[in-house]
Amino acid sequence: MEPITLATSALLVGGVATRVTRNTEVRARFRTWLAAAPVVLIPLILLGPWGAVALASVLGVIAATEYARLSCLRRVDALLLAMVVGLLPVGILVNPLLTLATVSLALPLGSAIAPVLHGDSFEGARRSAATCFGIVWLGGGLAGIGLLEPAVAAAVCIAVAVADVGAWCGGRWLGRSGPLSKGLSSLSPSKTWAGVLGAAIAGTGVLALLGQLTPGLAIAVVVGGVLGDLVESMVKRCARCKDAGTWLPGFGGLLDRIDSLLIALPLCLILTGALA
């Protein structure tokens, strides 16, 4: 099945389910999915590698802005973060090895320049560490969109999105009692093993329908999705915030929507040998 066909079918089914539910959050999330599907799939499938890179850059800059606010970074740190995260997918598409080597070598020094010049002895180390982490987490995660084959990247994006729905359904239907009701981490008590099971069934099912079911992609979608969600929960708890933003109906901010992809995409590159 083609990604656009599957996405359209999923949205039709979701639309019918949303019509019968009275849950306002579910309805808000569906409207967001409805708007986001063409924004993501058209660049990935129809515009080639540069379309994927443009998508990754735009998502990266928005996510960097949200992360900078959560991490209380100063404006100069936020600008550096957004610039590097936005340009990283372009550089990786042009010359992956040179870009990765340059970023790896320059990352510690570049992140520390502003705090050092400011003479920030109070928060300089924290600012440098937060900027470094943001570049690796956001830039490194989204850069995978441009390195994967378009069909694979689209399959992973759809699978992660559907796995998120599967996790929600699994948590509600199977996670009320018993061993599957146990939480994964205190970072996010609502995330249970029932949710992981639901995510695994939904995510691998989508990969199978798209003809992309391999052990590497299955692990990346399921394990990466869960870890990505927990990583963002850690960042938000440190910031004492429930959501990364308020502008995305049903989700909060962009980081709340793409957190699973930020770990799943790099895992895809590693487990499928796409970097070789």
**Which domain, by its residues, includes 169?**
1-13+29-44+150-276
User: Does residue 21 belong to any structural domain of this protein?
Assistant: no
User: Does residue 225 belong to any structural domain of this protein?
Assistant: yes
Percent of residues, the chain, with pLDDT higher than 90: 41
pTM of the prediction?
0.91
CA angle centred on 138, ends 136 and 142, rounded to 5°: 110
Looking at residue 56, its pLDDT comes to: 94
Claim to verify: residue 130 and residue 248 sit in the same structural domain? no
User: Does residue 24 belong to any structural domain of this protein?
Assistant: no
Claim to verify: residue 203 and residue 167 sit in the same structural domain? yes
Percent of residues, the chain, with pLDDT higher than 70: 98
Last residue of a domain, one of 95, 123, 147: 147
Structure tokens at 21: 């539910």
Average pLDDT, the chain: 87
Claim to verify: residue 253 and residue 154 sit in the same structural domain? yes
Taking 70 as the threshold, does the pLDDT of residue 30 lie above it? yes
pLDDT (average), residues 26-42: 85
User: Does residue 63 belong to any structural domain of this protein?
Assistant: yes
The count of domains in the chain is 2
User: Does residue 230 belong to any structural domain of this protein?
Assistant: yes
CA angle centred on 42, ends 252 and 51, rounded to 5°: 95
Claim to verify: residue 162 and residue 237 sit in the same structural domain? yes
Looking at residue 175, its pLDDT comes to: 66
CB distance 82 to 57 below 8 Å: no
246 secondary structure, DSSP code = S
CB distance 89 to 145 below 8 Å: yes
Structure tokens at 139: 């830039």
Dihedral in degrees, nearest 10, Cα atoms 67, 59, 26, 24: 70
pLDDT (average), residues 146-159: 89
Claim to verify: residue 136 and residue 246 sit in the same structural domain? no
Last residue of a domain, one of 84, 116, 147: 147
Claim to verify: residue 127 and residue 51 sit in the same structural domain? yes
Claim to verify: residue 128 and residue 86 sit in the same structural domain? yes
Residue with tokens 């995260």: 85
CA angle centred on 261, ends 29 and 235, rounded to 5°: 85
* Buried b / exposed e along 230-257 (16+ C-beta atoms within 10 A): bbbbebbeeeeeebbbeebebbbbbbbb
Claim to verify: residue 157 and residue 36 sit in the same structural domain? yes
Give residue 157's pLDDT band: very low, low, confident or very high (50, 70, 90).
Answer: very high
User: Does residue 23 belong to any structural domain of this protein?
Assistant: no
Give residue 274's pLDDT band: very low, low, confident or very high (50, 70, 90).
Answer: low
CA atoms of 99 and 113, how far apart (whole Å):
20
Claim to verify: residue 196 and residue 76 sit in the same structural domain? no
Looking at residue 130, its pLDDT comes to: 94
pLDDT digits (tens, 9 = 90+) for 91-127: 888 887 777 777 777 787 788 888 888 888 888 899 9
pLDDT digits (tens, 9 = 90+) for 40-97: 888 888 888 889 999 999 999 999 999 999 999 999 999 999 999 999 988 888 887 7
CB distance 234 to 187 below 8 Å: yes
Position 69: which residue type?
A: R
Cβ neighbours for 105, distance < 8 A, ≥ 6 positions apart: none
Last residue of a domain, one of 147, 182, 215: 147
Cβ neighbours for 91, distance < 8 A, ≥ 6 positions apart: 98, 99, 102, 103
